Every structure is written in C-alpha cells, then in structure tokens.
A and B are shown apart, each in its own frame.
Chain A
Amino acid sequence: MRRLALKGAFALLLVAIVLFAVFPFYYAIVSSFKTGSELFRVDYFPFSWNWSNYAAVFEQQPFARNIANSVAVAAAVVALSLFLGLTGAYALGRVKFRGRGILLLTILGVSMFPQVAVLSGMFEMIRFFGLYNNLVGLILANMILTLPFTVWVLTTFMRELPVELEEAALVDGASPWVIVTQVFMPLMWPAMVTTGLLAFIAAWNEFLFALTFTLTNDQRTVPVAIALITGASEKELPWGNIMAASIIVTVPIIVLVLIFQRKIVSGLTAGAVKG
C-alpha cells in the first residue's frame, strides 16, 4: 500500500515537471490562434485554428527578411566558429608548446565576459569598419559568444583521439593541414555537430548586439524584431501576433533540439558551457 502511494507521488512529480516545462510553450500556441476579443478570455484548450495572426506577422513587418537575417548570421557564425575552432583545437589539443595552459585559461576566461563589457569598444570598432546596421558586423560581434566554447569543447574532443592515427599520417609525411582535414575531421563530426548546434542556438538567440548594432527593420534579426513588435499604442501590444511570431521562430529550434538531444546534452556537459 505504501509502495503504491510512493509510486503515485512519483508519477505526480513527473507530471508536474512536464507541465512546468511545457505549459508556457503550449499556452503560447493556444494564444497564437486567437484574435480580437478572444484574447481577453483565458482558454486552456485551443478551440479554433485561425491562422490570421501568422499572416499578420509577415504583413505588418519584414518578418521573412528578419528570419533570413537570423539564418544568415547564425550559419556564418557556425561556419566561422567551426573552422577557427577546429584549427585552434588541433594546436591546443595535439601539440605541446609553451604557454598552452595560459592560452586555454584565457579562452575559457573570454567565455565569461559579460557582453555589455565589450559593447562600447565593439560599437566603436563596428563604426570604424563601416559595419553599423550591417549583418557582417553582427557576425563579427557574435564570434565572442561562440568561439571560446567551440575551441574549448573541440579541444577536449581532439585530445581524446588516439595518437596512433596521427603517427601513421606523420610517417606518410602528411602536413598538419592534411592531418587536420583528412585524419581528424572525419572523426570529429559528432563533436562538430554538437558544438555547431550550440553555436547556432547562441547566435540565433543573441539579443544585445543585434539590438544595439542594427537600426532599420530590414537589418534586424528575429529576437529584436519580436521584442520590438508594437501595437497602436504602448498599452495595446498585439499579443496574438507576438505569440505567432514566437512560435514561428521557436518551433525549428525545438525540433533541432529534440532530434539532437543526446548530442546537445553531451556537448553541454563536456564543456560545461553556458546555457
């Protein structure tokens, strides 16, 4: 009898955890299908599938452009981070040289930087390069978020690879570039998928730089576009539109995360990367 009660309590705990985790997202979906005065009533279940909010999001601002901006920035950031991370990780993980420990520590230190601490210096630099209100500037700025942990995690993985592989290649007279691209890269794919995903999510979610370094609607990324959706007045935010926009940009990320959940968890714990 006591066993049964314990089991029931545990099941209740599990249900509570799932509700706690999923309800806000679920409620946003329900709300995104409501228009007009329907929004002023609390409903726990969807009663209609009215897609007009979704259409309105694209009509009232260049949301498709914002999505394209976010995809472009995130993809470029991932490609750059992986390239620089992989070459850097080879040096840091496979070659012993003076100052390696200090370098690794410094890189770990950079991942702790508060974004706002580089904001004014970065603003000046972006102005100097003529990249204000330009996606290239955002790509550059985002590297500070993704590069340190990419290097860190890839170095950890690189270190684990067997030394015999490299020996064999060296005996064949392979150059370091060939060793990295032909020998290590095929073995590093799992780690690169993990770090690439984490970098993509970091760049996709980035807000402070995108808010500060862009000016016009058509250069904004998705988080800024959503944060700046306004209605007729400050008091009347178009909640239906905001929820629809939120669902549009969140669903792809959630699908990615669910598909790659094991890889992401291993990446998060391997580097103890920031969330």
Chain B
Amino acid sequence: MTQQTLDHAAAAPAVASGKLSLGRSRVRAAWIFLAPMLLVLLLVAGWPLARTIYFGFTDADLSDIANYEFIGFANYLEYDDGEWYGLLVDPDWWNAVRNTLVFAFISVSLETALGLIIALALNASFPGRSILRAAVLIPWAIPTVVSAKMWGWMLHDQFGVLNDMLMGLGILSQPVAWTADPQLAMAAVIMVDVWKTTPFMALLILAGLQMLPSDCYEAARVDGVHPVKVFFRITLPLIRPAIMVAVIFRLLDALRIFDLIYVLTSNSTDTMSMSVYARQQLVDFQAVGYGSAASTLLFMVIAVLTVVYIVGGKVNLGEGNR
C-alpha cells in the first residue's frame, strides 16, 4: 500500500517518462544495488558449497587438488570384494554423529533452562540490574578459542581450580582429568559451551519477556493467583515463540560446533564432532574427497532442519506488510 502512494507521489515530477518506467527504473536500480552483494555471496558461499558437494564424488587429495577423478558415491558407500566401504559404514563417522547429537541436545537443553532462569531474574527490577546484565554479556564476548583455553586451564588435571573447588567442597576425593577422561571429556565440552552461550539464550528470552503485556499480570495479581501458577499458565505460553526461535538458532549452531571441541580436546574421538571429523579428513589426512562427502552430509542435516524451521516457524519475511 505504501508502495502505491510512493509511486503516486513520484509520478508528478516524472511526467515525461511516465509512472510505469519510473517503477521499472527503480527495480533496475535495485538490481544494480543488489549485484555486488549477491556476487560476493555467490563467490564465498554458492560456489565453494557447490565445489564441496562435487568434491564429495571425487578422490581429490589436498596435496594436489587440481588432479582428481570422479568416483560416484564411493566416498559414501561402496561394495568391494565382499566388504562395504565409505562414510556410511565408517564407525568413526557415526561416532562423530553421535557425539554431535549428544552435545547439541544436552547443551541446548541446559542453556534453555539456565537462560530462562537468568532472563526471569534480569526481568525483575532490583538495584544493580544493569551491572548484572553487563556481567552476563562477558562470556558471550570472549572469543571461543580463548574461552576454551581459559577453561582448559581451569579444568587442568593437576593444577585446575575446578578440581580444587570440588575437593574443597568434598564432592571429589581426588583430582580428575576432565578433558582426557573418556567419561568426562564430553561433559567438560558441554560445561564450557553452556557457560559461553547461555547469555545469548538469556538475552533472546529476555527480549521476549519484555514484550509481554502487563495487563495479564495485573489481572492475575488482582485475582491472587500463585506466582508459580502465573509462570506456567501465562508467562511460559506467551514467551514460547521467543524460546523456540532461540532454541532453533542455538541448535543449528551446536550441530556445526568446531572451535571449542578442537581447542579443548583436539582430535580426541571421545568428543569429535561432525565438523571436527570432516576437517580432520580434509586437512590432517588430506582426503579432500572423503572429507567433502562428510561436510556435505553435515550440510544436508542442517539444511533440512533449517527448511523445517523456516516453513514451520513461518518466519516473517515482510512480504505481507509492505
């Protein structure tokens, strides 16, 4: 509707060229403005992705990336001499898939629960609230590599402060090797990720909380409804959309995790994620073809989830309101 008024207003000085051609020249200008951005996106996203998918069907090698042969689906699955080969029967790949799913599910659940608590606390009014809000942003601001190193030191098996604290509290009787113990390494990774990304969760949920209408709460207060009931009957249903958006974003982010795991536990199989696995194949083992196949599978998983989210979540693209 606003578009129409704009065209009417613009029609006055443009009598000679006429309204139609003005609209057309506007669209042409729009494409000229879009071109550089689209070109860069095509160069850094479209083309490399297409090449990665293609490499997945070849036997390319990192040391000589220009020479390769097309080998079909052999990187994914191949039957040769009575045995199956390829990514889909590689136990290390499935181990990475399992690790990634375990990591994503547990860390995002914990972050949502803690983020909700922090958001509710930040939504209350108390002296020093802005200090608290600033403090909560600190973990988010620290580079992932740096937080992995900071925690790597805190989790140190001999001199780590976490062992010292837990032993001081009597929870541990002797120091544990957080990042080296196969039973604990994943827990350590999840702990650091929860610390790092809960603020993001809390801030998104807080934004949702601050948009809630106050009249429901006044009505509930007048009727003397118990606060716990108010939370579960009013607050939670109303902020569910905000929480869902935050959860999806975090989930997609968690599924592609690389930095934290690579720096905290390097290429250990106990914590290896799909991204770490793909990079290890690509760079450390120089198997560009095989690594690209793994990258493609990870991309497919995330693409399917993204489409489900965009279709299911009915993301507002602004087509309707302007």
A contact set with B: CB distance below 8 Å? 10, 13-14, 17-18, 20-22, 24-25, 27-28, 31, 39-42, 44, 80, 84-85, 87-88, 90-97, 100-101, 103-105, 107-110, 112-125, 127, 140-141, 143-144, 147-148, 151, 155-156, 159, 163, 166-167, 170-171, 173, 175-176, 180, 201, 204-205, 207-208, 212, 222-224, 226-227, 239, 242-243, 246, 249-250, 253-254, 256-258, 261, 264-265, 268-269, 272, 274-275
Residues of A within 8 A of B49 (CB): 113, 117-118, 121
B40 touching A18 by the CB < 8 A rule? no
Question: Which residues of chain B from 76 to 134 have a CB within 8 Å of any chain A CB?
Answer: 117-118, 121, 124, 126, 131-134
Q: In the complex, A257→B43 CA distance in Å?
A: 31
B37 touching A84 by the CB < 8 A rule? yes
B141 touching A250 by the CB < 8 A rule? yes
Which residue in chain A gives the minimum CB-CB distance to B315? Answer: A108
19 contacts between A and B (CB under 8 A): A22-B138, A27-B153, A88-B33, A88-B36, A88-B38, A91-B30, A104-B318, A110-B41, A117-B295, A163-B5, A167-B5, A167-B10, A223-B144, A223-B146, A246-B150, A253-B142, A256-B141, A265-B203, A274-B252
Q: Which of A222, A239, A269, A272 has the most CB atoms of chain B within a 10 A radius of its CB?
A: A269
Known: A121-B49, A121-B52, A148-B41. A254 touches B139 (CB 8 A): no
Q: In the complex, A1→B274 CA distance in Å?
A: 54
- For the complex of A and B, the 7 pairs showing the least CB-CB separation, nearest first, are A121-B48, A121-B51, A114-B256, A88-B37, A275-B200, A91-B30, A95-B30
B121 touching A163 by the CB < 8 A rule? no
Q: Which of A24, A31, A95, A115 has the most CB atoms of chain B within a 10 A radius of its CB?
A: A24
Residues of A within 8 A of B291 (CB): 119-120
Q: Check: B171 CB closer than 8 A to any chain A CB.
A: no
Residues of A within 8 A of B302 (CB): 112-114, 117
B134 touching A85 by the CB < 8 A rule? no
Which residue in chain B gives the minimum CB-CB distance to A207? Answer: B259
Which residue in chain A gives the minimum CB-CB distance to B305? Answer: A112
B26 touching A120 by the CB < 8 A rule? no
A147 touching B295 by the CB < 8 A rule? no
Q: Check: B229 CB closer than 8 A to any chain A CB.
A: no
State the Cβ distance, B7 to closest chain A Cβ, in Å. 10
Residues of B within 8 A of A212 (CB): 279, 283
B41 touching A27 by the CB < 8 A rule? no
Residues of A within 8 A of B275 (CB): 114-116, 208
Known: A91-B31, A110-B41, A226-B145. A275 touches B253 (CB 8 A): yes
Please give 12 more A-B residue pairs, beta carbons under 8 A apart, in addition to A17-B121, A84-B36.
A21-B195, A28-B153, A88-B37, A95-B30, A114-B299, A120-B60, A123-B62, A170-B9, A171-B13, A201-B141, A239-B156, A268-B200
- CB < 8 Å neighbour of B147 from A24, A114, A156: A24
Q: In the complex, A212→B282 CA distance in Å?
A: 10
A246 touching B161 by the CB < 8 A rule? no
Q: Which of A116, A144, A269 has the most CB atoms of chain B within a 10 A radius of its CB?
A: A116
State the Cβ distance, A122 to closest chain B Cβ, in Å. 4
Residues of B within 8 A of A39 (CB): 159
Which residue in chain B gives the minimum CB-CB distance to A269? Answer: B207
Q: Which of A10, A104, A124, A163 has the most CB atoms of chain B within a 10 A radius of its CB?
A: A124
A272 touching B36 by the CB < 8 A rule? no
Question: Which residues of chain B from 8 to 62 have a CB within 8 Å of any chain A CB?
Answer: 9-10, 12-13, 26-27, 29-34, 36-38, 40-41, 43-45, 47-52, 55, 60, 62
